[in-house]
Structure 1
Amino acid sequence: MAVSQSSVFSESARGDAALSQINITPLIDVMLVLLIIFMVISPVVGLNLDARLPQANREATAPTVPPLQLVAQADGRYRLDGVVHGLDTLRSALVQSAANDPERVLMVSASADADYQAFANALATAEASGIRQIAHGQ
């Protein structure tokens, strides 16, 4: 069982030639599947939906009232729209503001050197006074 060198090389050359051709059968299968998908989807894409979206009523918007500014200061006092209050007088001023305009926003902030307790007291007093909309100001 002697095998000649020439037959080994010739089989190797034939195997390389067979492997160098591209098998396009899977490519054709994928193309046919995509064609079928597009044929099924294209009638659905062309349908128009009658969607009636709600429109904004620009006349119904209320005029914006500037928010109340409450600033907690480092010395333990509070500035409500420029008027300085102590903690006890702040509550009565906030109750009066809430009674005048219950939907008005209160922007609570603290000065840079104020401690956290002053800010927390301002928030607690604002919540206890009946103001519904409290925001953190810059």
Structure 2
Amino acid sequence: MSFGTRNHNNDSPMAEINMVPMIDIMLVLLIVFMITAPLMTHSVKLQLPQASSQLNNEQIKKVFISIDEAGKYYVDNKLMDKNTLSTTLGGFSKQTELPEIQLYADQSTSYSYVAELLSLLSEQGLHKIAFVTQPENK
């Protein structure tokens, strides 16, 4: 069964593009991306607070955690190492009303220090986290 008419007497080159190899390559690439895309996202599972136009509830206890560019952690302006920080955060997580964590990070702080703190907060069950920034001067 012939779909196209081809003159066998003519020795001219075939002017058709074979699309099958290109389609095969595209399907392989699609499968590779479908498999690797979920593996490329590594994140800390947090339930971040939702923004609202209501006034802030001032009765919620706030804990101020600061990270300087050297990776030192401060809780309410008190320097803490990782073990003390973990113990302190564990104490906060056992309270009946969980406090809001206000995170102050120096602009030149490595992301690894922030990610480590977020992971520790998530492990302790502290999910109310606010990233504090300063507004731009216009």
Output the TM-score relative to the length of structure 2.
0.49
Higher relative contact order (CA 8 A, sep 6+): 2
TM-score after normalising by structure 1:
0.49
Q: Which has the larger radius of gyration?
A: 1
- From the two aligned structures, give the one with the greater helix fraction: 1
